[in-house]
C-alpha cells in the first residue's frame, strides 16, 4: 500500500530530478521504522547511475523537502539506484528498458512454460513482446505475474 504522502513527494521530486537530468523510478515511505525512511530510486538515462547522481539528488531533494515541509517529523532520506534486478511495472520502465534482458513469469504456464527469458521488445495493452535469439515471443499480459530485469546477461 502506497503511503498517502508519496504522490506529493513525487510531484516535488520530479522537477528536481529533471533539473539534474535524472529520472525518478520509485518512491517508498517506510513509516514502520524509527525514524521513518523515505527511499527515492533514481536513474540516469544518459549513463549508468552512480553514487555522484545519488548524492546530487539527495542534496537537492533534501533542500526542497525541507522547504516544502511535507514531512513534519524527523525522517531519513535514502536516494539510490534500483539496480538491474528490479521488477518492471510502469509503461515508462517498459520503454526505458527496451532491448534489455528480462525474465517474464506467467501463471498459469503459457505454451508449456512458466518462465520466459529474452530481450524486451515492448508491452502493449494485451501483450508483452520478447526477442529470443531473433524469434519473437508474444505473451498475453493477462497471464504475466512479473517482469524483472535479468542479471545473467
Report the CATH number at residue 18: 3.30.300.70
- pLDDT computed for residue 153 by the predictor: 44
% of the chain at pLDDT higher than 90:
63
- pLDDT computed for residue 151 by the predictor: 66
Residue 103 lies in a domain: yes
Task: Please tell me the total count of domains within the chain.
Answer: 2
Residues 16 and 71 reside in one and the same domain: yes
The rounded distance, in Å, linking the Cα atoms of 10 and 122 is 25
Residues 6+ apart with CB under 8 A from 27: 6, 9, 10, 13, 38, 39, 40, 41
Phi-psi region of 145 (alpha: psi -120 to 50; beta: other; left: phi over 0): alpha
3-state secondary structure 92-135: HHHHHCCCCEEEEEEEEEECCEEEEEEEEEEECCCEEEEEECCE
Residues 124 and 60 reside in one and the same domain: no
Length, in residues, of the chain: 153
pLDDT tens digit string along 3-25? 889 999 999 999 999 999 999 99
Half-sphere exposure of 25 (CA within 13 A, CB side): 24
The rounded distance, in Å, linking the Cα atoms of 82 and 78 is 12
Mean pLDDT value of segment 94-121: 92
Residue 105 lies in a domain: yes
Identify the burial level of 25 via C-beta atoms within 10 angstroms of its C-beta, where 0-12 means exposed, 13-18 middle and 19 or more buried: buried
pLDDT tens digit string along 66-89? 999 999 889 999 998 876 557 888
Residue 86 lies in a domain: no
Partner residues linked to 120 by β-bridges: 130
- pLDDT computed for residue 152 by the predictor: 56
Residues 104 and 143 reside in one and the same domain: yes
Residue 1 lies in a domain: no
Q: Pick from 80, 108, 132: which residue ends a domain?
A: 80
Which domain, by its residues, includes 24? 6-80
pLDDT tens digit string along 25-82? 989 898 888 899 999 999 998 888 888 899 999 999 999 999 999 998 899 999 988 7
Report the CATH number at residue 121: 2.30.30.100
Residues 70 and 31 reside in one and the same domain: yes
Q: In the chain, where does DSSP find H-type helix?
A: 6-19, 51-68, 91-96
Residues 96 and 33 reside in one and the same domain: no
Residue 112 lies in a domain: yes
Amino acid at each position: 500500500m502506497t503511503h498517502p504522502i508519496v504522490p506529493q513527494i513525487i510531484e516535488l521530486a520530479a522537477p528536481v530530478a529533471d533539473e539534474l537530468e535524472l529520472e525518478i523510478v520509485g518512491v517508498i515511505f517506510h513509516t514502520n521504522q524509527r525514524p521513518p525512511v523515505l527511499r527515492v530510486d533514481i536513474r540516469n538515462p544518459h549513463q549508468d547511475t552512480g553514487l555522484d547522481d545519488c548524492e546530487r539528488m539527495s542534496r537537492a531533494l533534501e533542500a526542497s523537502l525541507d522547504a516544502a515541509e511535507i514531512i513534519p517529523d524527523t525522517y531519513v532520506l535514502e536516494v539510490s539506484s534500483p539496480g538491474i534486478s528490479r521488477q518492471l511495472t510502469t509503461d515508462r520502465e517498459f520503454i526505458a528498458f527496451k532491448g534489455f534482458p528480462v525474465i517474464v513469469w506467467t501463471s498459469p504456464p503459457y505454451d508449456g512454460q512458466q518462465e520466459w527469458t529474452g530481450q524486451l521488445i515492448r508491452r502493449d495493452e494485451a501483450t508483452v513482446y520478447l526477442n529470443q535469439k531473433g524469434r519473437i515471443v508474444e505473451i498475453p499480459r493477462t497471464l504475466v505475474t512479473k517482469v524483472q530485469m535479468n542479471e545473467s546477461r
